[in-house]
Structure 1
């Protein structure tokens, strides 16, 4: 027994050993606490960095005018960034609840759903455009670049969108298109005879210059027909100028229907007209002039206006003819037709 006690005494801690053991335990505990404090501080620092990064991202998105919108498929839920509130015309912090979306996007949500259904299996980004009704400012057009997010099993779980307001782009495009249309309309009006809708004298003579140059370049025939209304002064004297205007307008309409698609028919004087027929020889041009003469005589005879006839002169381009010479030759043939009794077609010598 005394031997056992002696052995136990050898392994039992004395005052010094107990102090060492307690010191070691306190050191280990202090080390663990220090480690926990370091870990907590690191987490706090990382969280602060992440928060700053998020703030910087939202600031950058705000400056660029981009918002983020995530649509979770099942169950359906909407999440968006602060900038989306601004794009949607909502107060900051407004959540994208279904009732709010339906209010500001009465047709936009249907537009989005239609596109999402069409691109349900797409792995590549796709575009969506939709309208947002902003209070007091009418409709805004938003454009999104969207991408599906799939699970490992291939099930679409989310649609992530980056959204921008493109209303100004549409407005600029509309303004540009309207400006171009106004310019084109002004050009048409500058080139058009208001009474008949035909080309006016300035434009018709410019087209004659162009037709002559093309005929020479391509070595193709070119014919012109000059015609006017017989005894038109009597129409005005007997029936008045308003009736005379109706006669001129009807002659222009009949002439337009007789012309080919690439012909030019213009009003070059009070009751005088010029018909330019590219790639047309004399024989075909003379037949066209006769058809026109007959159509005007028959058409006005059955219309509620005075019955009239026309006289016409034809000329085909010859070597050395400038546009004014070609026109003068056809005009001389017109007066030859008048001297021959009117209501006829004459060919230039």
Structure 2
């Protein structure tokens, strides 16, 4: 008679085998679906057709209700350019923090969009369409953006859906690169019809382009290169379209001469090559034949002969100018006031801590100016808010050009500004404040309809020393008290703290 324990172990083994078979079957079906999608994606001729193919391929695997293609426009803004919800087409896409993560290549999952403050900046129609959302990155030479899949129910999507879309993302990037190569090949075929010799050359380049594309799948290539042990170009392909250089113009030339070797990221990259290390997606500035520069993501691996001697590097360079500049613009927008262009409160707070550390090391005091435009409400009431905005912009410009480059002027909100003065005692801060007050008082500001208006400012001054280093909140409170005293004393004046 069989031992009950053995029977139980046998039963558990059979259950586990069944689970593994089901898991293997699911993986096989998923992989087959991805391969079918890859073959279908390769037939797309433009971004709209590619989006339609993606939506059709994924609908059974990721049961979404809404799918949107959001891309970066010419002015740096993101908009919905295609989607399954016509009412959302053309809508400006505002969640900056989420977009920045997607531009960095992350697939972002929001299992409950109501818990995301960034998502809540979207219009009501977009929020209602998606209580669950997955944002999949779309990054290529021609397009930067995201495909957003949404469902009106919270917690609808699962980690398995996210995993599937992560596997699907490289296929989309590859399809976009195939589209770019196809455009090039079609142009070459057209030229080849003009002469038999041109036809043979075009066919040879088409075969070479196909071989290069297959060897570089997953990198979204722009051009391929090899350099020898002296870091001189030994091979290049695809450089003419991106850089303006024909491949033969680069052969034998020192590769690092085309990069800014004084730039710290470039120096770090060169140091990696000197150590014979591989590198991936090193984003640095690259010079073009026209004299302009692009942002380039450089990836490469060292090559060694059979005896282990270094032979050079082989790699790929991607033009990431559009996505990098979009990321830099998002960072700029996150740290600067949208109206005046001055630093915002967040940047001011970030700057204060290192400034305090420098004060403690050097023993030199730092001062804070609290600046407020006098009777600003009257300007809005009499001339309108556009005139008030122009006054704030002009006052911000005066502050920025009057203080030193090492100082920081920021708008804290409304008509209130702050100026951080390092290595400045109370007397020096009062002198700077007086210069600002006089500069504003001497200006006439546009008020619309050909009218101008004069304004004044009141300034409160507070100073911190190494002997009594305050927190930023304490220093702001002291400067605000001095500002209040200046207001009580008649405005248009500078008041240092007692």
User: TM-score, normalising length from structure 2?
Assistant: 0.38
Report the CA distance between 1:173 and its aligned residue: 3.5
Paired residues of 1:88 and 1:132 also in contact (CA < 8 A) = no
User: TM-score, normalising length from structure 1?
Assistant: 0.53
Partner SS for 1:287:
helix
Return 5+ residue gaps in structure 2 as ranges. Answer: 1-199, 209-229, 254-295, 299-314
Counterpart for residue 269 of structure 1:
413
One of 384, 391, 397 as aligned partner of 1:247: 391
Return 5+ residue gaps in structure 1 as ranges. Answer: 1-83, 93-123, 148-166
Paired residues of 2:462 and 2:496 also in contact (CA < 8 A) = yes
Counterpart for residue 179 of structure 1:
323
Matches within 5 A, 1:143-292: 145-146=251-252, 172-175=317-320, 177-292=321-436
Distance 1:265-1:186 versus aligned 2 partners, 3 A rule: same
Matches within 5 A, 1:305-344: 305-318=452-465, 319-344=468-493
Report the CA distance between 1:321 and its aligned residue: 1.2
Counterpart for residue 494 of structure 2:
345
Counterpart for residue 89 of structure 1:
205
Paired residues of 1:132 and 1:140 also in contact (CA < 8 A) = no
Paired residues of 1:296 and 1:309 also in contact (CA < 8 A) = yes
The worse-fitting range, judged by mean Cα deviation, of 225-234 and 297-306 is 297-306
Partner SS for 1:217:
helix
Partners of 1:137 and 1:283 in 2: CA distance: 56
Structure of larger gyration radius: 1
Partner SS for 2:443:
helix
Report the CA distance between 1:217 and its aligned residue: 3.1
1:117-160 deviation digits (Å, cap 9, x = unpaired) = xxxxxxx99648988899x999885266449xxxxxxxxxxxxx
Report the CA distance between 1:182 and its aligned residue: 2.0
Report the CA distance between 1:214 and its aligned residue: 2.4
Report the CA distance between 1:180 and its aligned residue: 2.9
Partner SS for 1:273:
strand
Partners of 1:220 and 1:247 in 2: CA distance: 34
Q: Which has the higher contact order (CA 8 A, sep 6+)?
A: 1
Paired residues of 1:311 and 1:344 also in contact (CA < 8 A) = yes
Paired residues of 1:264 and 1:277 also in contact (CA < 8 A) = yes
RMSD: 3.7
One of 244, 247, 251 as aligned partner of 1:142: 247
Report the CA distance between 1:225 and its aligned residue: 0.5
The worse-fitting range, judged by mean Cα deviation, of 318-327 and 337-346 is 318-327
Partners of 1:178 and 1:206 in 2: CA distance: 27
Partner SS for 1:305:
strand
Report the CA distance between 1:179 and its aligned residue: 3.0
Partner SS for 1:268:
strand
